[in-house]
């Protein structure tokens, strides 16, 4: 086989045994890699109905055929397990160098079974895997662990995936981190790793990944080089995802004050913008050398969208190794909380990376607490004297520290906002959660199909699971004579009827579902969704299929690629059905239907429940899922070559 | 818009510059900042003929892709919105995801 290493490492932490599986070529053809392959192991090895923190929960970390090849956007890895947040599937992606290094070390994936009695860490070095005691690492923050392990193993080139103290304490939004700044952030995979007492997975290797067709790979790569500037991806690399703050403000889609409004004041939005981050906080900002000192990348990626900061907040150094905040982090700790102090937001990002938590859920939990506090639902006595008003950056940082250490009121917040509301018996009206997980920072009020995707997505609301509505709007779809519109890629997957972001009809649902399959394939091929996608990215669907073909030598068409994305989505959805989730769990927060947004372009906007429910009906019909239960039908599963799943479900 | 229409409009802007002027503050974000010299950081004071529109201002700075514009507190000003002396015009690029 080309591309793949052909090996999966199974680690049993209960009895500390290791086993190398060499799956058949057919298995690789059928399950491709990444999320889809991880889901297969989750289904087969985790008994139905077990708790996410039960040792029988299976945690899989999976790459794919292209991972480790010298082309932009291929170094990604998916973590899959049962989620402690959603009680359905947990699924999260991270980039960096770890995914490529795992391949160089000789494995396509790692499947973790059981749980250890004492803390351990795993090394996979040049094809050789070993478990080690990790008592000395337990309680340590991410950068501390990076340094200790580099010294202990005598190699600065090792790559480390690890949990921080939050994951050890099983905070439900605990993340798995690598490079101390890249996160498998969402759905609580770090908490599950913590429940297994697995502190870290260290990888190091020098065996290069062999593609089937080097020339074809080079052709795709060269095309990417040429497109970097015209596609707008060079600017994306310059400002990072933080560059999205002001476009969101302009669109009335910057969630602010716990989603009471889609705008801040223009001055406040400018204060937390990617442009300001670039001008003032990135490394090299003082002498205009951000390009070299203020940006970082993932293995072999020319986009270089990652931030490296060099500044301070109230005497606290903003440490370059902890990276800089992404758009999502700026929104949750910034606009959600009404905070315009970008240095404080950057410090919050640093603390989250140090302790290993999902910045989206963590920041959104604090903004929920702020709305409760503003409305007298949570008192100063309960917060231990912290005045949790909107805009209070000091209070935000203080409450974040308490949350990360599970101290005082922070112990309540470490459960996430939905569980915190249950525990306190109040504040439910201010929740912004679906399936127990906090919403990311894109607003369904201004992106109607995204609302449907938030509701139906198997691992909770996700902004990286479909193309957002504006890409299908006429001017952006069409482009201008000087600027290529998004139709160049959307047409490759049959989307050619543009419409407004606020429309929600059969065609818009078709757009959402079709692009959902593309994104789903990106997570299966384990590629970065900023580089490969359906509209604004560097490479479109055809290049994605070409990449997989060049890596494996197995020719894949765009239709086949879409079908593999569909297969992964249906397997996730079937898993949720197996664990008892139904259509009833496919909701949006009540607040979005009740409270009209105030100010900006989205002033007065509120979602209409009838329109939303109709959207769901159209979605289930097009997806081939039961309108009553939201479960894929037997015919759909069989069409996805998942007849065995229909058998298991007794459909 | 067709290229020749844009050229016509640019000519009109240039011709009218000889007539009476007004000043409009413009703020550009993201990759749009690069149409101005780097030290301006996306901010400029434009000299425009009276009666100029949002579209005229965009032409003058050389923005040729779809954008979202806002003038003063008015959100989403249309391209034919007529600018006034002292206006603040903000230009956002649309972001589809991220
Ligand atoms: S675009 Fe950014 S996140 Fe994606 S691979 Fe490149 S550097 Fe990493």
Per CB-CB distance under 8 Å, the chain A contacts of B36 are none
The residue among A385, A414, A438 that closes a domain is A438
The closest of A54, A158, A36, A143 to A104, measured between CA atoms, is A158
Q: Which two tokens stand for residue A601?
A: 């372009």
The closest of A356, A364, A381 to A171, measured between CA atoms, is A356
Helix (H) or strand (E) holding A203: strand A198-204
Q: Ligand 1 centre and the CA of A539: distance in Å? A: 13
Same-domain status, A300 and A415: yes
Per CB-CB distance under 8 Å, the chain B contacts of A289 are none
Check residue A408 and give its pLDDT: 97
The closest of A536, A529, A456, A541 to A494, measured between CA atoms, is A541
Which CATH number fits the domain B3-93, given the four candidates 3.30.499.10, 3.30.565.10, 3.30.420.40, 3.10.20.30?
3.10.20.30
Measure Cα distances from A268 to A91, A239, A334, A618, B40 in Å. Answer: 34, 18, 9, 39, 20
Per CB-CB distance under 8 Å, the chain B contacts of A471 are 96-97
Residue B96 has pLDDT above 70, yes or no: no
A234 in a domain, yes or no?
A: no
| Domain residue ranges of chain B, discontinuous segments joined by + | 3-93
Same-domain status, A373 and A408: yes
Q: Does B70 touch chain A (CB under 8 A)?
A: yes
What secondary structure letter does DSSP report for A623?
A: H
Same-domain status, A480 and A428: no
Q: How does residue B76 score in pLDDT terms, banded at 50, 70 and 90?
A: confident
A127 in a domain, yes or no?
A: yes
List the single residue in B with minimal CA-CA distance to A476: B66
Same-domain status, A17 and A42: yes
Q: Does B41 touch chain A (CB under 8 A)?
A: yes
Check residue B2 and give its pLDDT: 45
Q: How does residue B64 score in pLDDT terms, banded at 50, 70 and 90?
A: confident
Instruction: Say how many CA atoms lie within 13 Å of A606 toward its Cβ.
Output: 12
Taking the CA of residue A297 as reference, the ligand 1 atom at the shortest distance is 7
Measure Cα distances from A634 to A369, A456, A568, A570 in Å. Answer: 43, 19, 15, 11
Same-domain status, A340 and A382: yes
* Contacts of B53 by beta carbon, 8 Å cutoff, 6+ apart: B79, B80, B81, B82, B83
Q: How far apart are the first and last CA of chain B?
A: 28
User: What lines the ligand 1 site, CB under 6 Å?
Assistant: A 72-73, 95, 297-298, 301, 303-306, 528, 530-531
Query: How large is the ipTM?
Result: 0.85
Q: Does A3 touch chain B (CB under 8 A)?
A: no
A499 in a domain, yes or no?
A: yes
Q: Ligand 1 centre and the CA of A238: distance in Å? A: 12
The residue among A151, A186, A204 that closes a domain is A204
Same-domain status, A460 and A393: no
The closest of A361, A339, A327 to A257, measured between CA atoms, is A339
Residues in chain B: 98
Strand order through the sheet with A128-133: A128-133, A120-125, A198-204, A159-163, A176-178, A182-184
- Among A234, A274, A306, residue to substitute to test ligand 1 (most atoms within 8 Å of Cβ): A306
Measure Cα distances from A441 to A241, A278, A456, A601 in Å. Answer: 12, 21, 17, 17
List the single residue in A with minimal CA-CA distance to B76: A601
Query: Which of B29, B34, B96 lies closest to A535 in CB terms?
Result: B96
A214 in a domain, yes or no?
A: no
- Looking at the complex, report in whole angstroms how far the Cα of residue A505 sits from the nearest Cα belonging to chain B: 19
Domain count, chain A: 3
Give the CATH number, domain containing residue A416: 1.10.569.10
The residue of A250, A303, A326, A470 whose CB has the most chain B CBs within 10 angstroms, and thus the best one to mutate to test that interface, is: A250
pLDDT < 70 regions, chain A? none
Instruction: Say how many CA atoms lie within 13 Å of A580 toward its Cβ.
Output: 7
A232 in a domain, yes or no?
A: no
Same-domain status, A190 and A244: no
A570 in a domain, yes or no?
A: yes
Give the CATH number, domain containing residue A85: 3.60.9.10
CB A368 within 8 A of CB A427: yes
Same-domain status, A580 and A508: yes
Q: How far apart are CA A187 and CA A202, in angstroms?
A: 22
The residue among A389, A406, A438 that closes a domain is A438
User: Secondary structure of chain B: what % helix, strand, coil (to 5)?
Assistant: 30, 30, 40
Instruction: Say how many CA atoms lie within 13 Å of A59 toward its Cβ.
Output: 30
Tens of pLDDT, residue by residue over A1-54, are: 999 999 999 999 999 999 999 999 999 999 999 999 999 999 999 999 999 999
A228 in a domain, yes or no?
A: no
Check residue A593 and give its pLDDT: 98
Containing structural domain, residue A283: 240-438
Q: Is the pTM of this model over 0.90?
A: yes
Contact: A467, B96; criterion CB under 8 Å:
yes
Residue B40 has pLDDT above 70, yes or no: yes
Strand order through the sheet with A59-62: A17-21, A8-12, A109-113, A59-62, A77-82, A89-94
Check residue A186 and give its pLDDT: 96
List the single residue in A with minimal CA-CA distance to B62: A482
How many angstroms from the chain centroid is the CA of residue A545? 22
Q: Which two tokens stand for residue A109?
A: 């994936």
CB A339 within 8 A of CB A388: no
A211 in a domain, yes or no?
A: no
Per CB-CB distance under 8 Å, the chain B contacts of A246 are 29-30, 92
């Amino acid at each position: 086989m080309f591309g793949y290493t052909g090996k999966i490492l199974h680690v049993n932490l209960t009895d500390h045994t290791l086993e190398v599986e060499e799956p058949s070529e057919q298995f690789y053809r059928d399950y491709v890699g990444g999320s889809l392959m991880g889901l297969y192991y989750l289904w087969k090895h985790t008994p139905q109905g077990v708790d996410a923190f039960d040792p029988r929960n299976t945690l899989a970390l999976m790459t794919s055929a292209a991972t480790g090849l010298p082309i932009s956007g291929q170094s990604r890895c998916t973590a899959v397990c049962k989620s402690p947040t959603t009680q359905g599937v947990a699924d999260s992606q991270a980039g960096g160098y770890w995914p490529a290094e795992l391949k160089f070390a000789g494995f396509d994936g790692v499947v973790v079974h059981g749980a250890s009695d004492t803390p351990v860490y795993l090394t996979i070095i040049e094809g050789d895997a070993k478990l080690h005691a990790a008592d000395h690492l337990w309680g340590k923050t991410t950068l501390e662990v990076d340094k200790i392990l580099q010294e202990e193993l005598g190699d600065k080139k090792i790559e480390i995936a690890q949990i921080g103290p939050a994951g050890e304490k099983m905070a439900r939004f605990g993340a798995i981190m690598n490079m101390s700044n890249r996160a498998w952030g969402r759905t609580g995979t770090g908490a599950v790793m913590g429940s297994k007492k697995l502190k870290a997975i260290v990888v190091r290797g020098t065996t290069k990944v062999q593609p089937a067709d080097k020339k074809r790979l080079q052709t795709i790569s060269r095309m990417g080089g040429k497109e970097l500037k015209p596609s707008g991806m060079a600017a994306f690399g310059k400002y990072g995802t933080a560059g999205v703050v002001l476009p969101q403000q302009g669109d009335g889609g910057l969630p602010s004050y716990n989603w009471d409004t889609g705008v801040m004041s223009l001055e406040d939005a400018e204060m937390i913008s990617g442009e300001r981050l670039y001008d003032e906080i990135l490394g090299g900002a003082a002498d205009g050398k951000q390009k070299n000192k203020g940006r970082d990348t993932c293995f072999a990626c020319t986009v270089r969208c990652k931030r490296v900061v060099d500044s301070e907040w109230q005497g606290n150094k903003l440490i370059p190794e902890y990276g800089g905040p992404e758009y999502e982090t700026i929104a949750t700790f910034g606009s959600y909380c009404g905070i315009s102090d970008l240095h404080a937001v950057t410090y919050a990002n640093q603390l989250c990376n140090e302790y290993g938590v999902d910045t989206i859920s963590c920041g959104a939990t604090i903004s929920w607490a702020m709305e409760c506090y503003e409305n007298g639902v949570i008192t100063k006595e309960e917060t231990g004297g912290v005045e949790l008003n909107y805009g209070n950056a000091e209070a935000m940082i203080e409450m974040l520290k308490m949350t990360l250490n599970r101290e005082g009121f922070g112990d309540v917040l470490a459960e996430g906002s939905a569980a915190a509301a249950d525990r306190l018996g109040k504040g439910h009206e201010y929740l912004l959660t679906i399936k127990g997980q906090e919403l990311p920072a894109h607003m369904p009020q201004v992106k109607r199909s995204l609302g449907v995707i938030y509701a139906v997505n198997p691992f909770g609301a996700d902004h990286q699971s479909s193309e957002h509505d504006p890409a299908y709007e006429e001017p952006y779809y069409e482009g201008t004579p000087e600027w290529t519109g998004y139709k160049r890629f959307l047409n490759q997957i049959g989307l050619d009827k543009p419409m407004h972001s606020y429309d929600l009809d059969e065609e818009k649902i078709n757009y959402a579902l079709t692009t959902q399959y593309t994104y789903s394939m990106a997570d299966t091929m384990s590629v970065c969704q900023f580089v490969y996608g359906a509209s604004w990215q560097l490479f479109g669907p055809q290049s994605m299929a070409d990449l997989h073909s060049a890596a494996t030598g197995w020719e894949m068409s765009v239709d086949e690629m879409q079908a593999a994305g569909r297969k992964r989505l249906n397997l996730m959805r079937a898993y949720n059905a197996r664990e008892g989730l139904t259509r009833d769990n496919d909701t949006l927060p009540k607040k979005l239907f009740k409270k009209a947004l105030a100010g900006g372009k989205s002033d007065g906007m509120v979602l209409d429940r009838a329109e939303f429910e109709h959207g769901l009906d159209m979605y289930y019909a097009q997806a081939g899922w039961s309108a009553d239960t939201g479960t894929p039908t037997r015919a759909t599963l069989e069409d996805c070559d998942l007849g065995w799943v229909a058998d298991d479900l007794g459909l | 818009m067709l290229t020749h229409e844009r050229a016509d409009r640019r000519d009109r802007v240039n011709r009218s510059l000889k007539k009476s002027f007004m000043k409009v503050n413009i703020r550009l974000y993201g990759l749009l900042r690069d149409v101005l010299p780097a030290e301006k950081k996306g901010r400029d004071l434009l000299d425009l003929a009276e009666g100029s529109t949002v579209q005229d201002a965009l032409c003058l700075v050389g923005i040729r892709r779809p954008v979202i514009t806002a003038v003063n507190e008015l959100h989403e000003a249309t391209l034919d919105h007529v600018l006034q002396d002292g206006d603040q015009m903000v230009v956002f690029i649309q972001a589809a995801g991220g």
